[in-house]
Structure 1
Amino acid sequence: MSKKDVETTGHSWDGIEELNNPLPRWWLMVFYASIIWAIAYSIAMPAWPGIKSATAGMLGWSTRAEVAKDIASFEEMNAGVNAELASADVTTIDVNSDLHNYGVNMGAAVFRANCSQCHGSGAAGNVGYPNLLDNDWLWGGTIDEVAYTIQHGVRNETDEARYSEMPRFGADELLEPAQIDQVVEYVLSLSGQDHDAAMATEGAVVFADNCAACHLEDGTGDIFQGAPNLTDAIWLYGGDRATLKETVTNARFGVMPAWGQRLSQAEVNAAALYVHQLGGGQ
Structure 2
Amino acid sequence: MSVKERDPLTGHQTTGHEWNGITELNTRVPRAVWFFIIVTHIWALVYWVLMPAWPLVNSYTRGLLGVDQQERVERQVGAANAARADWTTPLATLDAAAIRDDPALMAHVQRTAPALFGDNCAACHGTDAAGGPGFPSLVDDAWLWGGDAETIMETLRVGINSPHPDSRYAQMMAFGQSGILTRPEIRTVVDYVQSLSGLETEADADRLARGATLFEENCASCHGENAMGNQDLGAPDLTDAHWIYGGDDASMFETINAGRQGWMPAWEDRLTVADRMMLTLYVQDLAKEADNAD
- TM-score w.r.t. the length of structure 1 is 0.77
| SS at 1:279 equivalent | helix
Among 98, 108, 111, the residue aligned to 1:102:
108
| SS at 2:12 equivalent | strand
Q: Partner residue of 1:175?
A: 181
Per-residue Cα deviation, 1:185-214 (whole angstroms, up to 9, x for no partner): 212333344434133342122223332344
Per-residue Cα deviation, 1:163-196 (whole angstroms, up to 9, x for no partner): 4444432233333333222111212333344434
Q: 1:197 to 1:44 in 2, by over 3 A?
A: same
CA distance in structure 1 between the aligned counterparts of 2:33 and 2:254, rounded to whole angstroms: 72
For residue 212 of structure 1, what is the amino acid of its counterpart?
A
Q: Partner residue of 1:16?
A: 10
Q: 1:13 to 1:144 in 2, by over 3 A?
A: same
CA distance in structure 2 between the aligned counterparts of 1:128 and 1:22, rounded to whole angstroms: 62
Q: How does 1:79-228 map to 2 (within 5 A)?
A: 79-94=85-100, 97-156=103-162, 160-198=166-204, 199-228=207-236
Q: How does 1:33-44 map to 2 (within 5 A)?
A: 35-44=41-50
RMSD: 3.5
CA distance in structure 2 between the aligned counterparts of 1:219 and 1:197, rounded to whole angstroms: 19
Q: Between 258-267 and 71-80, report the one with greater CA deviation.
A: 258-267
Q: Identity of counterpart residues, as a percentage?
A: 35
Q: 1:219 to 1:45 in 2, by over 3 A?
A: same
Contact 1:152 1:162 in 2 (8 A): yes
Per-residue Cα deviation, 1:101-136 (whole angstroms, up to 9, x for no partner): 223444444434433333234423232221112222
| SS at 1:260 equivalent | coil
Q: Partner residue of 1:6?
A: none
- Structure 1: runs of 5 or more not aligned: 1-8
For residue 175 of structure 1, what is the amino acid of its counterpart?
L
Q: 1:90 to 1:187 in 2, by over 3 A?
A: same
- Structure 1 position 240, deviation (Å): 1.9
CA distance in structure 2 between the aligned counterparts of 1:22 and 1:177, rounded to whole angstroms: 77
| SS at 1:203 equivalent | helix
- Structure 1 position 236, deviation (Å): 0.7
Q: How does 1:235-274 map to 2 (within 5 A)?
A: 235-274=243-282
CA distance in structure 1 between the aligned counterparts of 2:69 and 2:5, rounded to whole angstroms: 51
- Structure 1 position 224, deviation (Å): 4.3
CA distance in structure 2 between the aligned counterparts of 1:22 and 1:156, rounded to whole angstroms: 61
For residue 12 of structure 2, what is the amino acid of its counterpart?
E
- Structure 1 position 237, deviation (Å): 1.3
Contact 2:52 2:60 in 1 (8 A): yes
| SS at 2:141 equivalent | coil
For residue 197 of structure 2, what is the amino acid of its counterpart?
S
Per-residue Cα deviation, 1:65-99 (whole angstroms, up to 9, x for no partner): 32222111112212332222111111221366222
- Structure 2: runs of 5 or more not aligned: 14-26
Per-residue Cα deviation, 1:33-92 (whole angstroms, up to 9, x for no partner): 555444322321234567887643221213323222211111221233222211111122
| SS at 2:180 equivalent | coil
CA distance in structure 2 between the aligned counterparts of 1:30 and 1:228, rounded to whole angstroms: 67
Q: Partner residue of 2:23?
A: none
For residue 277 of structure 2, what is the amino acid of its counterpart?
N
Q: 1:279 to 1:30 in 2, by over 3 A?
A: same
Q: 1:73 to 1:217 in 2, by over 3 A?
A: same
Q: 1:16 to 1:246 in 2, by over 3 A?
A: same
| SS at 1:91 equivalent | helix
